[in-house]
């Protein structure tokens, strides 16, 4: 597995070796030994899956109680995946990276604790699978508005076409959000 550092230290693109033939394809999505050798000591406690229709934007989500590292990938279709540095003490606070993840390119994104996460579905249906390093905690869950002007994320969704949940639509502005130290 190839591991590539993004512009945000700690946020990594993982490129597995994909074996393709006439039957289809096979690749490893996680290997404890490979992660340990790369210094990624996250212990996964839960696997989650969602699917979204085109133009759905989910996030920007994170937990201040029971914070989570995430390993995300797409099983069907494609998404525009975003990680936002939410550590006030970081030189990259409020900065983000975006990567297109798809079933075809098989890329995965490792997002460490201290970051928010969001994605936009780029295809008619996008299957999204992810591991988390701690359990869901409703009391600790926070949301920053996906369209916060201070973040300047260039979402690949036509203006007025974004589909967001009520919760995500009511997220905090970054400047008002409870974030990490």
Tokens 């993982």 belong to residue: 14
d(CA 57, CA 152): 15
Identify the three-state secondary structure at position 100.
strand
**Cβ contact 112:147 at 8 Å:** no
Spatial CA neighbour of 64 closest among 44, 86, 96: 86
d(CA 169, CA 25): 38
Catalytic positions, written as ranges: 61, 130
């Amino acid at each position: 597995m190839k591991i590539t550092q993004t512009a945000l230290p700690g946020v990594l693109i993982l490129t597995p070796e994909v074996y393709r033939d006439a039957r289809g394809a096979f690749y490893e999505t996680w290997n404890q030994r490979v992660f340990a050798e790369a210094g990624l000591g996250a212990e996964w406690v839960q696997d989650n899956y969602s699917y979204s229709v085109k133009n759905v934007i989910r996030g920007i989500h994170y937990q201040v109680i029971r914070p989570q590292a995430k390993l995300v990938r797409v099983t069907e279709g494609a998404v525009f995946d975003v990680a936002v540095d939410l550590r006030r003490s970081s030189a990259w606070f409020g900065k983000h990276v975006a990567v297109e993840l798809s079933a075809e390119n098989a890329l995965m994104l490792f997002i460490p604790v201290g970051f928010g996460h969001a994605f936009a579905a780029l295809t008619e249906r996008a299957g999204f699978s992810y591991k988390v390093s701690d359990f869901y905690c409703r009391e600790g869950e926070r949301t920053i508005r996906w369209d916060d002007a201070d973040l300047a994320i260039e979402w690949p969704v036509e203006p007025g076409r974004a589909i967001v949940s009520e919760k995500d639509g009511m997220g905090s502005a970054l400047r008002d959000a409870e974030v990490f130290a």
